[in-house]
Structure 1
């Protein structure tokens, strides 16, 4: 068998277990996977293989399938000073992420029409260092745009149940959400929901001021729980597929489990920052930690980890939502004024692994949450696993490498991150896309492709 690349790994995550593996690549796809308890058992098996390039991983390295991050705000066009496709996809590649799916906001225009989708594809096409897909948006009055967007390959539709933070992407009221979900049910499309109830938040405390506890009280768990209950019931009535974005309230886990037991088609994600940080440790004025829904208490964090362990939470994605430094209002430290969002695309794997290993989880679990699960949720049939026929997308991960986050070394466009100065464990040493090792230096050439639902 003639191969383009042959990777010899003493440790690899394949088919739900960690094992030694020979992985062969031809024409950008995985053409061969042989596994054994150790490399010695594979040595003779690899001698008959011819490859243009042979890659030998070190004993401290693990071959993972490339990660899939289905919750990324790139912001280009329109707010490219916040983040752009070149900077975001370089950050993804540096973090072992080989596929992202871009959110329909905060770009201008938002991805709520086919024309807007084509505009976004046009600017992304020659800048993508990893593969890129797109979500469509669900806003008041655009239900008739769902079918054309679906036909054009968006991976589903995102909506808000309260002000989104940008005026050009308005939220849906309950009757509008029901109408939208009936249409996604008809199309067989996925509705992904920012689930916080706007009316509940309108009656909550003001977020103004430097105290993090004040901001936390302005986005209560009850608002999140109420919105998730609404999504569950509408999914039940309409038989639509629904996905809850960035779960931060562990209170919602029992109703999520109950809904699934009833047959409601519901998936749930959380994010590395909810699994890493706690409200108790956030200093007043530290607006780099502001996100919506908010980072909650330590007990809540542990219950989210328990929800991952028991399968109530399906996937972990970053909700990479960057902005320029001035929008974080560091001069005043006012949580009511600062932009809400955490830039974490490059650090999601290390942050999640750092917390997972302390709680007895394995890299097999992390791959399930950050590669297999997101690929399955988005319908990416050739992503998410080291499987013959899949895209040859890999991350070479050193799980014992410890480092302190230096924002100057991140590829995000703006040097703002809640992870700055935070100690993490696990470093990505190589990232491969379609059998090509990615580079992220100034001379690197983009290798990514634009994806359409049903074609990847």
Structure 2
């Protein structure tokens, strides 16, 4: 909220507080949330205008740390103007751009500045940027470089294994693709990531976890002191392969 705003509080019948939704008043000072109080205690803290939003839900803004904004280069797919408005419409307050299809790819400082220029003046929410996740096995080199910094190294955790099933069957069936990407590929990759993370104590982040099976490895590593985080995506949580018909991917 603008620090110059005359609004000193926002009242709603539905405010997400911890793990429960209840009526509350959010006290604002100098444009920032100062406290969240029950309605009966708020009057002494509301010196200015109180905005009553009725039954509208108030919750912390969503931070999406993995958004493919394809600008520059493929803005006709998605650009900052549309991506950040979509985030705001869905309750997002921050996106982190994961460079996948932008041209040029964000793998050098020069290309990073091109990203910044493309985003300037087009963002409706806070925007941050990943550096490109590149192929090749330079993990140990990067770990040495990142030691004693606050930098974060992301991993697309997928490792070729000898006993992975070869792609067979009807190429139009989703099950054929799944047989070529068994869970063991992700499990073995994450096993390596957890070992490296524990050894070097560099912050590591596993992107789009696709199987629940590696979670025990991740929990054990975190319990042992690994600075490790992980993310997944909604389609891994909501879609079942049995419900995907042939030719539908």
TM-score (norm 1): 0.50
Structure 1 match to 2:121: 126
Q: 1:7 aligns with which of 7, 10, 15?
A: 10
Q: 1:62 aligns with which of 57, 69, 86?
A: 57
Q: Is the 8 A contact 2:13 2:22 kept in 1?
A: yes
CA distance 1:128–1:208, shift in 2 (3 Å)? farther
CA distance 1:8–1:201, shift in 2 (3 Å)? farther
Q: How many aligned positions are there?
A: 245
> 1:237 Cα deviation (Å)?
2.3
CA distance 1:58–1:202, shift in 2 (3 Å)? same
Q: Is the 8 A contact 2:28 2:35 kept in 1?
A: no
Bigger Cα displacement from structure 2, 262-271 vs 2-11: 2-11
> 1:3 Cα deviation (Å)?
5.1
Q: Does 1:210 align with 2:154?
A: no
Q: 2:217 aligns with which of 249, 255, 258?
A: 255
> 1:225 Cα deviation (Å)?
0.7
Q: Is the 8 A contact 1:236 1:264 kept in 2?
A: yes
Q: Is the 8 A contact 2:27 2:37 kept in 1?
A: no
> 1:203 Cα deviation (Å)?
6.1
How far, CA to CA, are the matches of 2:60 and 2:163 in structure 1? 40
Matches within 5 A, 1:173-184: 173=137, 176-184=138-146
Greater RCO (Cα-Cα under 8 Å, separation 6 or more): 1
> 1:188 Cα deviation (Å)?
2.8
Q: Is the 8 A contact 2:27 2:35 kept in 1?
A: yes
Q: 1:267 aligns with which of 229, 239, 243?
A: 229
Displacement over 6 Å in runs of 4+: none
Residue by residue over 1:116-153, the C-alpha shift from the partner in whole angstroms, topping out at 9 and shown as x without a partner, is: 1110010101111111001112xxxxxxxxxxxxxxxx
How far, CA to CA, are the matches of 2:115 and 2:144 in structure 1? 27
> 1:45 Cα deviation (Å)?
4.0
Q: 1:19 aligns with which of 14, 17, 22?
A: 22
Residue by residue over 1:84-104, the C-alpha shift from the partner in whole angstroms, topping out at 9 and shown as x without a partner, is: 111111111111111000013
Q: Is the 8 A contact 1:19 1:35 kept in 2?
A: no
Q: 2:205 aligns with which of 210, 231, 243?
A: 243
Q: Does 1:33 align with 2:35?
A: yes
Residue by residue over 1:31-83, the C-alpha shift from the partner in whole angstroms, topping out at 9 and shown as x without a partner, is: x32411xx4x256446x5213xx432223x32111111011010111122221
How far, CA to CA, are the matches of 1:125 and 1:277 in structure 2? 36
Residue by residue over 1:248-298, the C-alpha shift from the partner in whole angstroms, topping out at 9 and shown as x without a partner, is: 1111122112222222221111111111111111111111xxxxxxxxxxx
How far, CA to CA, are the matches of 1:280 and 1:187 in structure 2? 44
Q: Does 1:94 align with 2:89?
A: yes
Q: 2:101 aligns with which of 100, 106, 115?
A: 106
How far, CA to CA, are the matches of 1:64 and 1:24 in structure 2? 14
Residue by residue over 1:213-253, the C-alpha shift from the partner in whole angstroms, topping out at 9 and shown as x without a partner, is: 11111221111111111111111222211111111111112
The secondary structure found in structure 2 opposite 1:225 is helix
Larger radius of gyration: 2
How far, CA to CA, are the matches of 1:201 and 1:11 in structure 2? 52
> 1:199 Cα deviation (Å)?
5.2
> 1:17 Cα deviation (Å)?
4.5
Q: Is the 8 A contact 2:164 2:181 kept in 1?
A: no
How far, CA to CA, are the matches of 1:251 and 1:129 in structure 2? 37
CA distance 1:89–1:207, shift in 2 (3 Å)? farther
Q: Is the 8 A contact 2:74 2:102 kept in 1?
A: yes
How far, CA to CA, are the matches of 1:124 and 1:28 in structure 2? 25
TM-score (norm 2): 0.88
Structure 2 match to 1:136: 131
Residue by residue over 1:170-209, the C-alpha shift from the partner in whole angstroms, topping out at 9 and shown as x without a partner, is: 4022xx1111122122433111111011456986326972
